[in-house]
Amino acid sequence: MKYAILIPDGAADYPLQELGGKTPLEVAKIPNMTMLARDGQVGLVRTVPRGMSPASDIAIMSIFGYDPRKFYTGRGPLEAANIGISLGEDEVAFRCNLITAEGDILADYSAGHISTREAGSLIELLNKELGSSLIKFYCGVSYRHLMVVKGREFLDAKCIPPHDIIGKSVSKHLPEGKPAETLVRLMNDSRSILAQHEINKVRVDLGENPANMLWLWGQGLKTKMPSFSERFGITGSVISAVDLIKGIGKSIGLKAVTVPGATGYYDTNYENKARYAVKALLKNDFVFVHVEAPDEAGHNGDLREKLSAIEHFDRVIVGEIVNHFKDRRNCRILILPDHPTPIAKRTHTADPVPFIICGKGIEKDSINRFDEKVARESSLVFKKGHRLMEYFVGE
């Protein structure tokens, strides 16, 4: 048996007036997912437990079969696991975005999706100017980086993800709580340091958003989870351009596959991701393929790009997997967004998401398409998201 989980991040949405009251999933041309829906089962799953933040780390952890209420410690340590940072017992890892601030307004959570090459120089500068024996900065991918600080007290800071406050006041959304003074100082000091860097001067001259401030959030301690093979008796790989997703995979003993051209944005190399997924399945039982583009389009409020990303995902990623398993007699395929990223809200929501499951041992139902509306009418509902994996692998 082979198992493939395919994630179009943030693809679920709300009905939009410009789409005649339909969602992007309802309108997009997705013949491969429609075929799988017709041949398998469509259901609804709550990937974000009630009361928890609708963040990708929490949702993805659920999809992997791990209860976030039991295992989640924060986003930072999951990304640290992928970069290869070994956290000490008293070290706290923060996600560190490079953002664009215009005066007191957070204009862009990604600094124009700055390149990793440019970002590397900026993180190196921040480490030189703001780092110490207690604080260190580490370069990730594009705008996504890390800061590690010694002191468990930093867990108590109340921090807000930058993609939740696009177009809102910076000063009104800075970290709060007892340990926040150090974090706020670092964030404010970064503005004068970054503004003077030649990279940002060139970006401004070219009309691109400068990376003129760092934003700290998503802190946590080292994550400890049982391995995926211990839980489910299968081995496999994770394919994603995002450190967070690869970090979760590594934390549970999966191999993180590096794919040439995988960017985590609209221009990601779908073809390479699909090819590497098939190669991974030739060696192991399981592959988890994550595509970030629909989520980025949702954050940007870009309907055209969201539709395009969903259609690319269906044509290339799903199409390649379907072609590889033509008869689907010795495989199972699961497809679902981790959470909605509605165009109208430009951030994540905790609404349940639709899923498709098909393959060996999966009896088809009466549903013949894949979208939010039909999923809500399904009798196949998982109120605890981590239970879906057990159903998928046949436990």
**pLDDT of residue 327 exceeding 80:** no
Q: Is the pLDDT of residue 151 over 80?
A: yes
Over residues 241-265, mean pLDDT: 94
List, in sequence order, every residue forming a beta bridge with 145; answer none if it has no partner.
96
pLDDT of residue 3 exceeding 80, the answer is: yes
Q: Which domains does the chain have, with CATH numbers?
A: 2-72+224-393 (3.40.720.10), 82-220 (no CATH)
Question: Given pLDDT bands bounded at 50, 70 and 90, which one contains residue 259?
Answer: very high
329, 332, 333, 339 alpha-carbon torsion, rounded to 10°? 160
Taking only the tens place, the pLDDT of each residue in 273-305 is 999 999 999 999 999 999 999 999 999 999 999
What is the per-residue pLDDT for 73?
Answer: 87
The pLDDT assigned to 354 comes to 98
Residue 158, pLDDT > 60, answer yes
Asked if the model's pLDDT at residue 395 lies above 60, the reply is: no
pLDDT of residue 328 exceeding 80, the answer is no
Question: Using one digit for the tens of pLDDT, what is the confidence trace for 348-371?
Answer: 999 999 999 999 999 999 999 999
Residue 230: the pLDDT is 95
Residue percentage of the chain with pLDDT more than 70: 99
pLDDT value at residue 84: 86
Mean pLDDT of the chain: 95
pLDDT band at 394 (very low <50, low <70, confident <90, very high): confident
* Percent residues over pLDDT 90 in the chain: 93
Half-sphere exposure of 132 (CA within 13 A, CB side): 7
pLDDT in tens, 38-65: 999 999 999 999 999 999 999 999 999 9
Model confidence over 185-218: pLDDT tens digits?
999 999 999 999 999 999 999 999 999 999 999 9
The model's pTM is 0.85
Banded pLDDT at 82 (limits 50, 70, 90): confident
